[in-house]
Structure 1
Amino acid sequence: MLDRLRLDSARIEAMAAAVDQVAELGDPVGQIIDETLRPNGMVLRRVRVPIGLIGIIYESRPNVTADAAALCVRSGNAALLRGGSEAARSNRAIHTALVEGLVEGGVPAEVVQLMPTQDRAAVGAMLAAGGLIDMIVPRGGKSLVARVQADARVPVLAHLDGINHTYIDRCADPAMARDIALNAKMRRTGICGAMETLLVDAQFSDPHGLVAPLLEAGCELRGDARACAIDPRIKPAEASDWDTEYLDAVLSVAVVDGLDGALAHIARHASGHTDAIVTDDDAAAARFLSEVDSAIVIHNASSQFADGGEFGLGAEIGIATGRLHARGPVALEGLTTYKWLVLGSGQIRP
């Protein structure tokens, strides 16, 4: 939480840069998704339109104030922001700066509003505001997201967990595997793209060289019996570890029997967020990318790239793990829907 709350000069510059990047993106509103000429001469177009009023419920992430506001405004939506009490002053300062810029640019200040109260009843009011709020996006811990999904009478775009796996295949380059695993876990342990389970092929050539840098970096490893045999510093894992999003310097490690074993483990325990494979075997990579049913599936790169900015989206309003409307990093296109335009020339239906 402290890491997410920290606002030093570098992070403030990063927030401002993200707003600039969103401003430079193409306007999605009015974009023609596709166009069809029917045999009767009618032209059918699907055109992007805003969703409406987007409610953002978040905690301990003051950067969401800037990211959400920029994305909503750029995609033609209004935003109602409800941040957590732990970042209330930061959120107010960021919102004040945003409103000043909006007004200066000729946009009504009311387009981006910040809930003036930290009363939890305000969250309940937002969740019950069907017909007023068009979509809710929760950003926070599991308890917050679970409550929003359980109580909302408004469509919700959300994910619950980031139980992300990195599978080191037998054909992985050992140096690449080591670097990717260390970065995927330890670059920032508290983000949703952090690796939480490392899967190692039983035939991988250098398992000790893979886990030793993690241990030396201060990461606690919890493994199955075969993983514990790699290094005596690895602690035995509990059954619950495979389904835990640590968001800390703690990592589950399992030794699996090839790609089939990795796919089976991921199918049982993944949260549908981000999963990665490290391998030089193109056929194994293709199968992994095809069969892992997560919002983001990666070959030979760190799961910490699961981020809207890294995807070239400028910023993100969140990463959705469901299967409807939007999936993965949700940015401008994910904050639009579409309508059909039917252009006729006097046609009547027989």
Structure 2
Amino acid sequence: MTDAASLIADLGRRARTAAVSLAGLPTRAKAAGLVAAAAALRADEAAILAANARDVAEGAARGLSGAMLDRLRLDPARVAAMAAGVEAVAALPDPVGQVIDTSMRPNGLALSRVRVPIGVIGIVYDSRPNVTADAAALCVMAGNAAILRGGSEAAHSNAAIHGAMARGFAAAGLPGDAAQLVPTTDRAAVGAMLAADGVIDLIIPRGGKSLVARVQAEARVPVLAHLDGINHIYVDASADDAMARAIVLDAKLRRTGVCGAMETLLIDRGFADAAGLIAALRDAGCVVRGDGRAQALVPGLDAASDADWDTEYLDAIAAVAIVDGLEGAIAHIAAHGSHHTDAIVAEDAGVAERFLAAVDSAIVLWNASTQFADGGEFGLGAEIGIATGRLHARGPVALEGLTTYKWIGRGTGQVRG
């Protein structure tokens, strides 16, 4: 089948049938499927790594950046972590069937809100092959069927990972179409998914800015996403110098290509060693671009342009501004942030609590690296992504974020009359 719309419609019909079956499965059956899938990932490690090596070689030949190659590359430790993440999801409390709240109406009608699966979820992602395993595990455990469309740069890796997961699901008796991989890298398939209103219930993009922007612009299906990870760390005058250095270096340089990486460093003009903190970041291999006050503190510092404050670098580059205390930091974040993850380093608890309350981001941290913006680090198991909107789900989206709810009423013959 070569027509993209027909292909997605066929996948959607099969997914809908699988979703109906998954919605009725007990927790133990879904968990057994995930445990079997994790075992299959471990058993297929050599094949997965061989497929990934092919993707990495092709990506390098096409000129992918170092950060993008890092997102793409797998090794034995990452495959093991992928399998462990799937098992972690299997061990999480099942949200399906959870009673959110109950009430009794004056007429005796008993009402309750109960969590139920969303249905068919389409995942569109680019160069991270681990998303194939994470997305399949989370969707299935939450009782949803998944249609997965990975990027062309990870096509071989995605196929190997999906093949292992599918064999594990089948061995445990889960529906064969519980998680389907779109069998083409043609961009028309993405467009067909975005237009598949009534076939796909929710689209979740996970990847770079251009991918997410396209999804948000074209989708006729509801979308759960974040566009940018323009994350800030504000170092208050009360911050411990050693702690500030450790957090800033980790937040920027641990992995520069992840959406939780710090992109802008804000330093209170009252912080005693702002120059030393900026120099430490630069000495660690980061290109630092500063505002006028930062340049005055560190001779030879590159000048930041207006665009730098609104840029997600995903690379060893950071913008630095010296601000007038907490209010200056909050104002800067409000003007330039993307509502993803922002952090404060401070010993003054009063200042920290004001920051936590005032910054309108999905994740706000005190004395911790922004690289903790991750579902696994939040105890949620593997995540489907970070959501920065204000509806349905926000922050790391895991099992609960992949459910909706319905109202159930239990009566004794009530009529409105």
Aligned length: 350
CA deviation map 1:36-80 (0-9, x unaligned): 122222211110000010000111010000000000000000000
Q: Measure, in 1, the Cα distance between the counterparts of 2:349 and 2:232.
A: 19
Q: Measure, in 2, the Cα distance between the counterparts of 1:233 and 1:157.
A: 43
What is residue 63 of structure 1 aligned with on the other side? 130
CA deviation map 1:172-195 (0-9, x unaligned): 111111111111101111100000
User: Deviation of residue 292 (structure 1)?
Assistant: 0.5
Q: Measure, in 2, the Cα distance between the counterparts of 1:189 and 1:215.
A: 14
2:231 partner amino acid:
N
- What pairs up with 1:172-251 in 2 under 5 angstroms? 172-251=239-318
1:256 is the counterpart of 2:323: yes
User: Deviation of residue 301 (structure 1)?
Assistant: 0.4
8 Å Cα contact 1:58-1:83 kept in structure 2: yes
1:31 is the counterpart of 2:98: yes
Give the 4+ runs in structure 1 shifted more than 6 A: none
What is residue 97 of structure 1 aligned with on the other side? 164
> What SS does the aligned partner of 1:110 have?
coil
What is residue 395 of structure 2 aligned with on the other side? 328
What is residue 167 of structure 1 aligned with on the other side? 234
* Long gaps (5+) in structure 2: 1-67
1:317 is the counterpart of 2:384: yes
- TM-score (ref. length: structure 1): 0.99
User: Deviation of residue 88 (structure 1)?
Assistant: 0.3
1:92 partner amino acid:
A
- TM-score (ref. length: structure 2): 0.83
Percent of aligned pairs sharing the same letter: 71
> What SS does the aligned partner of 1:229 have?
helix
User: Deviation of residue 277 (structure 1)?
Assistant: 0.6
What is residue 3 of structure 1 aligned with on the other side? 70
User: Deviation of residue 231 (structure 1)?
Assistant: 1.5
Q: Measure, in 2, the Cα distance between the counterparts of 1:38 and 1:334.
A: 29
User: Deviation of residue 210 (structure 1)?
Assistant: 1.4
Q: Measure, in 1, the Cα distance between the counterparts of 2:226 and 2:297.
A: 34
What is residue 272 of structure 1 aligned with on the other side? 339
More helix by share: 2
User: Deviation of residue 212 (structure 1)?
Assistant: 2.1
What is residue 116 of structure 2 aligned with on the other side? 49
- What pairs up with 1:142-153 in 2 under 5 angstroms? 142-153=209-220
| Residue number among 155, 158, 169 corresponding to 2:222 in the alignment | 155
CA deviation map 1:197-238 (0-9, x unaligned): 000000011112312221111001000011112222421111
1:141 partner amino acid:
G
8 Å Cα contact 1:275-1:298 kept in structure 2: yes
> What SS does the aligned partner of 1:33 have?
strand
2:167 partner amino acid:
E
8 Å Cα contact 1:220-1:234 kept in structure 2: no
What is residue 149 of structure 2 aligned with on the other side? 82
Q: Measure, in 2, the Cα distance between the counterparts of 1:228 and 1:40.
A: 70
What is residue 136 of structure 1 aligned with on the other side? 203
Q: Measure, in 2, the Cα distance between the counterparts of 1:292 and 1:40.
A: 44
* Long gaps (5+) in structure 1: none
CA deviation map 1:312-339 (0-9, x unaligned): 0001000000001000000000000000
> What SS does the aligned partner of 1:36 have?
strand
Q: Measure, in 2, the Cα distance between the counterparts of 1:229 and 1:44.
A: 64
> What SS does the aligned partner of 2:243 have?
helix
> What SS does the aligned partner of 2:297 have?
coil
Aligned-residue CA RMSD (Å): 0.8
